[in-house]
Structure 1
């Protein structure tokens, strides 16, 4: 439910403790027995709740059940121009009076109002304005007759004129002149306005002191009791808890919210944004960035325009020159902000406090300071190339119940889904851990950042193993490796990770696992040599194989090089750092085998795409 900056209608809606003040004013009006016209002023700044108080005053008056009480409400802000203002006020007044009083009022107005107003009110036909204005009949006598008619009618008029401070300077003066003209007996005017605004306007359109002029019009000024910081805090806390369903820290937002109008404007914008993207954001960050959007628009724009600086993170340490350069603009913007804005910035971007948190935690909490989540706070939609929605994350975690379903989801975008599986690994139910391990060690990644996918998978594997009972870990991971297709990921995970392997598995268990990997490599090489070495991971596989079993790959490479087609693929997949003698016992090649290989390599080196790699292998052969 949005506040359209609307005032409350009844005392039951009052959250500011103003009902007693309103009741005091209404009781004073009811107790006023003098017949003289009385003008009350409900005075307060914009956003202080003047209209809400007037509504509660009229509510109390209506509940008094005084049969002779007649309340006339007039909002001059609804009409544009002085002529429309006068016309509508007099029309409203005439429509609420009995025929006798109305007739005398018309006669009185015919002497005072401009001709064009009289024409529209029908006074020219009734009284012939021109002749009536030149008539010798005394204006004072006409006014006396009108006053006596009102007194004899035994009615009490309460005329409410709200929002006077929203008018132009000329219209403000017109309103007060109108009150002076229609100063009927048994009548109480309730006028509401911001005193500073009205005084300034009066001084602009007439000579003299605006405050003195106002004092002559307003007989009894009622200053609205200002809201204290305690009341503002309580209201804001209540509104935010209703929206977020939890408490958040509001200390940094309070300096911007000094009155209810600002609170309403803030809550309206915050509710709109929360309804659009609330689930995809950190609630406290959303509350804070919304404060800047509303009250510090220039700063808000600067943050958005310097996205890279505000989302930099010291992966290489805060003293790294690249990090210092990246965050330079953020620090410059922070330095020129005022103290209130600085507090908000430090809350949004913890690096300004020289605090570094685990980046995955910041991602998981959907903080604005992360690359993945930054745009969401400004565009009201997630960046689909960097981020997953809360619904997609729930689907990802749900898919861990079934290996096929999980593989299907991860296949959509290997890196993106693995990244969020890693971030939310703690949410994977214990009974689904085996499914996830089976999936990771079976899937073939097709993402451009292949090694990034392997690194993420490795992190997930170790995190999940840590969640299992120690005596189950080896058995479960062995089963996943036996059944899985991704021999490279298994090698990458257990042949390269140092201390973490020993901490998770233990020395004997790791040795057993390495033996399983060696067995599987030999079995694959014997049954599908082409399938093992054809993928782009060929070079990495033989390097890691060599780590756990030096020269274990030797017989298979020698076999592979006997086939012209496989030799071509072998040459294509070698890199500048590839050294044949690291994997093949070149010195064990017999003379015929060596000479045949050299001859074939020399022939292949004439092909442009193979030349460099073939020549490098030739040089390595000839050095022996």
Structure 2
């Protein structure tokens, strides 16, 4: 049971996996039963304490059930229909999971109860408080007493003497006297004390054993009721392991010893109501099919198929509200990049497999030839080499690895997703052709790969590798080395540098260390021009021009967004002063000027990286670096995105003498122009020099005519690569004119 994140500014509708905290919300009708439990507690009469357990699976809503029960015992007690005035109930809560693995659970139990006594909302009389302090003192003193009771439960209360004021001689006689005093005083209470202990099943086995040992020593006090919440199977297993370790490994063990121990402590068990199949399906559809899918192409979602596969396959894995929320949150992250590119039901089914059987998920991803028809020449040749019996053995092996309780459901999902699997299990001889419009996972290899958006191919990165690689960067040079090394390693989607840059974007946020953000920014500004090249053709598709530059810019943008505002000027000053990526500097200057309401923008962004007076210093550094570079090296004109560089330079320093002279120098020297164009195109730079790059100093037509004349005059002396470069230059389309 959960509540939604109210932050409407976020594009993702992530649901927090937390108990309900709104008494008016009740998705599964738990309130009525919680009300009955609360009424029973108020009417309970027992000569000793009483322990009630709420038993339910993880994620089934136990914590929400406790929330409703507590509200009925306190703020909403007037709603209880018990035929008489409800006496005051004091409620304490203890969440042992918060202290799991860090401190002594039992000590924290008494520490937290005593701390809650001091809260303003706990209106406890002095008389009751005195009794409670005696109870806390009793627990702390048990450790030192050589009695069976002390030996059983008191060993865990080390150090509690320092937090109580009540002083007691540590003797068996005084311990029992104190116990009798507590019993007498508790009998005189008008109301009841309810201690709620949640998330017991999240503790380690040892911690569960400690907690129940402590409860065994203190549960027999009248008017104190313990309300526990756990998964009974987990608790019994932990108790069984402690008291009968030999039986724990016996396959014929029926856990009778653990059950009997639990029965000595828990007087009454309330099984958390099983959510009806109809209501859970309604909750699933209401939770999952949010705005995320509203504008999805209707061909990609078949309502009849959804109902069928839900009942015959998916419902086996959607058993609790938590499993619904887990699925929803995964889809919120994974689906948006693939909207209208994958079949919705196929995608949900595959995500269910990933969450419950990750080995099968990876098996599908890494062995596509066993699941889809690969109609490429290579795919067909490989398929011919695979013997039918090998295919049958392959599918038999993975189905055998599925738990018996899930076999039928997984088999139905898999045969629905993959006709080739259905062919194997049903011994059918043919496979129907998939509809291209429905974009099923088995349509073709390219479509198949889209379903594994965050599960890259073996020759690319996994998410874990990306994060580890990112956080291993110790200085800017290491970042550059990573990009340099990965740039030459090709995968299906291009160089691994592209995959790296794209992959680290989601990992750059407010939690990213400041030093790492600094290394990323400075490293990006030092990336050499030779790395800013157009990618190769891979798998018959071409990565769009400017892809790597766009992702570097995005990485810079994200890093600056989360870098401290007060330090951004200092960071950019260092990045511009020590860097040589003129294209990136120009791109950054455009963005920051636009953030300040300049350069075709009229609105000042509240999230601007720098103010105008700060930006002037960066502008000056950029212009001075350009003046030096272009006056000493004519091939500076071969830089990536040279058109943007000249545009920004002229924008910052109109008719700059250094720029005018540099252009005139190369204009007078045919060899210089040939060298610039050849280098720009031979290196396959992103944004190479084009006929309109030198505007407004040289028009598009002037530049074309100049190069055309050079080509005609020098064709016989030029090599093939030079001729090809000049020809490519001349074939560039002129810029679009906006009327």
- Name the TM tier (shorter chain): 0.5 to 0.7
Q: What RMSD, in angstroms, separates the aligned Cα atoms of the two structures?
A: 3.7
Please give the alpha-carbon distance, in whole angstroms, between the structure 1 residues aligned to 2:441 and 2:273: 40
**Partner SS for 1:154:** coil
Identify the residue that residue 236 of structure 2 maps to in structure 1: 199
User: CA 1:11 to 1:330, structure 2 compared with 1: closer, same or farther past 3 Å?
Assistant: farther
Which runs of structure 2 are paired with 1:6-405 in the superposition (5 Å)? 6-34=18-46, 36-62=48-74, 63-64=76-77, 68-80=88-100, 84-95=104-115, 96=117, 98=126, 99-113=129-143, 117=157, 119-122=159-162, 127=167, 132-134=169-171, 137-183=173-219, 184-206=221-243, 209-242=257-290, 243-245=292-294, 247=303, 248-249=306-307, 250-251=309-310, 252-313=313-374, 324-325=384-385, 332-336=393-397, 337=399, 338-353=407-422, 361-362=435-436, 365=439, 367-380=441-454
User: CA 1:116 to 1:160, structure 2 compared with 1: closer, same or farther past 3 Å?
Assistant: closer
Please give the alpha-carbon distance, in whole angstroms, between the structure 2 residues aligned to 1:124 and 1:156: 23
Unaligned runs of 5+ in 2: 1-12, 79-85, 118-123, 145-154, 245-255, 295-300, 400-406, 424-429, 457-491, 495-536, 543-739
Higher helix share: 1
User: CA 1:356 to 1:79, structure 2 compared with 1: closer, same or farther past 3 Å?
Assistant: same
Q: Displacement, 1:219?
A: 1.0
Q: Displacement, 1:281?
A: 1.7
Q: Displacement, 1:119?
A: 3.4
Please give the alpha-carbon distance, in whole angstroms, between the structure 2 residues aligned to 1:291 and 1:116: 43
Give deviations 1:225-245, integer Å, cap 9, x for gaps: 333433333332333333534
Give deviations 1:318-375, integer Å, cap 9, x for gaps: 9x9876557967665434424433322222223445665656x426636453222222
**Partner SS for 1:227:** coil
**Partner SS for 2:226:** strand
Which shows bigger deviation, 281-290 or 191-200? 191-200
User: CA 1:287 to 1:182, structure 2 compared with 1: closer, same or farther past 3 Å?
Assistant: same
Q: Displacement, 1:80?
A: 3.1
Please give the alpha-carbon distance, in whole angstroms, between the structure 1 residues aligned to 2:438 and 2:541: 14
In the alignment, is the contact (CA less than 8 A) between 2:55 and 2:230 conserved in 1? yes
**Partner SS for 2:193:** strand
Give deviations 1:266-319, integer Å, cap 9, x for gaps: 333233212343343211111111122112222211111123453425699x9x
User: CA 1:126 to 1:358, structure 2 compared with 1: closer, same or farther past 3 Å?
Assistant: closer
**Partner SS for 1:48:** coil
Please give the alpha-carbon distance, in whole angstroms, between the structure 1 residues aligned to 2:105 and 2:447: 52
User: CA 1:369 to 1:342, structure 2 compared with 1: closer, same or farther past 3 Å?
Assistant: farther
In the alignment, is the contact (CA less than 8 A) between 2:100 and 2:204 conserved in 1? no
User: CA 1:324 to 1:284, structure 2 compared with 1: closer, same or farther past 3 Å?
Assistant: farther
User: TM-score, normalised to structure 1's length?
Assistant: 0.54
Unaligned runs of 5+ in 1: 386-411, 418-624
Q: What is the aligned length? A: 384
Please give the alpha-carbon distance, in whole angstroms, between the structure 2 residues aligned to 1:108 and 1:322: 75
Identify the residue that residue 546 of structure 1 maps to in structure 2: none
User: CA 1:106 to 1:188, structure 2 compared with 1: closer, same or farther past 3 Å?
Assistant: closer
User: CA 1:24 to 1:327, structure 2 compared with 1: closer, same or farther past 3 Å?
Assistant: farther
User: CA 1:266 to 1:330, structure 2 compared with 1: closer, same or farther past 3 Å?
Assistant: farther
User: TM-score, normalised to structure 2's length?
Assistant: 0.46
**Partner SS for 1:150:** helix
User: CA 1:334 to 1:233, structure 2 compared with 1: closer, same or farther past 3 Å?
Assistant: farther
User: CA 1:335 to 1:214, structure 2 compared with 1: closer, same or farther past 3 Å?
Assistant: closer
User: CA 1:230 to 1:111, structure 2 compared with 1: closer, same or farther past 3 Å?
Assistant: same
Q: Displacement, 1:117?
A: 4.1
Identify the residue that residue 586 of structure 1 maps to in structure 2: none
In the alignment, is the contact (CA less than 8 A) between 1:100 and 1:149 conserved in 2? no
